[in-house]
Amino acid sequence: MKKILLLFGFITFASLLTEAQVSGNERVGEKIKSLEIGYLTKQLQITPDEAEKFWPLFNQYKKESRGIMLDNSLTDRLEIDQKLLDIRKKYRKSFATILGNDRAQEVYDSEDRFKTLVQKEMNRRLRARQERKNK
């Protein structure tokens, strides 16, 4: 049952993400952010006390990471990857003070798994949309 709920969450997230990309709707972006929070909270088993400290820090981490990805002056993929790695290293230490070392590493593993699952679902939906168009 938990797997079904998790899969439903991914599908919902992917559809909202696709809608947000198409419409640019800020409200949809907020829904996506809420789903990400729920996913990571569950995966990392974040307690309410930890959440008060973790989420502002995680939001700052995401903001810095997005800044690197949107920096038009960075064109070398390896340089971008290195800067993102540096940010992860910096925040892992801070996450560890809140969650402990094991769960601090799990932050990135969970984030990566989530992105992969969402990307797969988006690709599946785009292929299905293309197939419908081509009929």
Whole-number pLDDT of residue 55? 95
Q: Is the pTM of this model over 0.75?
A: no
- Residue 45 pLDDT level (bands cut at 50, 70, 90): very high
Give the start-to-end residue ranges of the domains of the chain.
2-134
Q: Which residues contact 6 (CB under 8 A, 6 or more apart)?
A: none
DSSP annotation string for 101-134: HHHHHHHHHHHHHHHHHHHHHHHHHHHHHHHHHH
Angle at which helix 77-99 crosses helix 101-134, to 10 degrees, equals 130
Q: What is the mean pLDDT of residues 21-37?
A: 68
Closest of 28, 26, 35 to residue 8, by C-alpha: 35
22, pLDDT greater than 50: no
- Is residue 65 within 8 Å of 74, Cβ to Cβ? no
Q: What is the mean pLDDT of residues 101-129?
A: 88
Of 70 and 22, the structure prediction assigns the larger pLDDT to: 70
Q: How far apart are CA 18 and CA 24, in angstroms?
A: 10
128, pLDDT greater than 80: yes
